[in-house]
Amino acid sequence: MTQSMRQDWAGQVDFDRLPRHIAIIMDGNGRWAKQRGLPRTAGHKVGSETFRKIATCCRDLGIEHLTVYAFSTENWKRSEDEVGAIMRLLKQYLLEAIESMERDNIRLRFLGDLSAIAPELRKLVERTNAISERMTGFQANICLNYGGRDEIVRAVRAFAADCAAGKKSAEELTEQDFACYLDSRGIPDPELIIRPSGEERISNFLLWQCAYSEFYFCDTLWPDFDEEALKQAIISYQRRDRRFGGVK
């Protein structure tokens, strides 16, 4: 974030009341490409650059977590060509991250069932995990082969296994205990969830974690989403009256 950008934000955004965690459904890559007569994969390529730009902006703002929906459990229904292109973009991103995350003090975390991911990509994930363990700064969480229901079912299975082994008791389970079985363990719930591209649905994203999130929808397609669009989302978030079921 440049000095002039910070000045532009200063009058409109309260830097002391930023969300700790922003989550984004990076939607609209396909339509962006179609509008330009390009293959869908070209939209994903520009979309991955948008992710880099927005992650840098979040880091500069001091936001602790950015979570993005990169590939859902349902996305396997797409053509082999498109799935392959998204996986290649992720691989490219991880290769770059391995080179730069130490210097930038950045952590990466993956949410989702990685057992179905190609071994080559999984190895890169393991390498970034090992670097992340030593880092303390901004954390980007990438949802990969992720579905909110799938995450909850995998958590229930793990909890049931602990009960069967006598390590846990079902009667004593609390919401906090259960959250420790989710992929998102240790990550604060997102205060703000953004979905660009004009769609207004959750699409199996962070179902447990979004209980009290503020939602922000806009028409911009993800490849066109920029710092200005992020600023508008944060301004909208800061205007909301968050009561968490109580009364102010």
Buried residues in 85-103 as b, exposed as e (16+ CB within 10 A): bbbebbeebbeebeeebee
Q: Is 30 in the site for ligand FPP (CB under 6 A)?
A: yes
| 70 touching ligand FPP, by CB under 6 A | yes
Q: In the block, which residue shows the tokens 């700790």?
A: 20
> What is the spatial order of strands in the sheet that 192-195 belongs to?
107-111, 139-146, 65-72, 21-25, 192-195, 214-217
By CB under 6 A, residue 31 contacts ligand FPP: yes
| Min CB(57)–ligand FPP separation in Å | 15
104 is catalytic: no
Nearest approach in angstroms of CB 87 to ligand FPP is: 9
Give the whole-angstrom CA distance, residue 106 versus residue 129.
11
Compose the 191-220 pattern: x for residues touching ligand FPP by CB under 6 A, - for all others: ------------------------------
Local structure of residue 60 (DSSP, 8 states): H
Using CB under 6 A, which of 20, 60, 75, 154 touches ligand FPP? 75
Residues 128 and 96: beta-carbon distance below 8 Å:
no
**Does 24 engage in binding with ligand FPP (CB under 6 A)?**
no
**Among residues 18, 22, 61, 89, which is the contact residue for ligand FPP, using CB under 6 A?**
89
Measured from each CB, the residue nearest to ligand FPP is 30
Q: Is 112 in the site for ligand FPP (CB under 6 A)?
A: no
**Region of 10-18, 46-54, 107-115, 165-173 interacting with ligand FPP (CB under 6 A):** 46-54
Give the distance from CA 137 to its chain's centroid. 16
Residue 28: which residues within 8 A CB-CB, separation 6 or more?
A: 43, 196, 197, 198, 220, 221, 222, 223
CB of 201 to ligand FPP, least distance (A): 12
Q: How far apart are CA 69 and CA 52, in angstroms?
A: 14
Options 83-91, 100-108, 127-135, 183-191: segment touching ligand FPP (CB under 6 A) = 83-91
Q: Does 177 participate in catalysis according to the annotation? A: no
Percentages helix, strand, coil for the chain (3-state, rounded to 5) are 50, 15, 35
Q: Which residues are catalytic?
A: 27, 75
List interacting residues with ligand FPP (CB under 6 A): 26-31, 44, 47-48, 51, 68, 70, 75, 86, 89-90, 93, 142
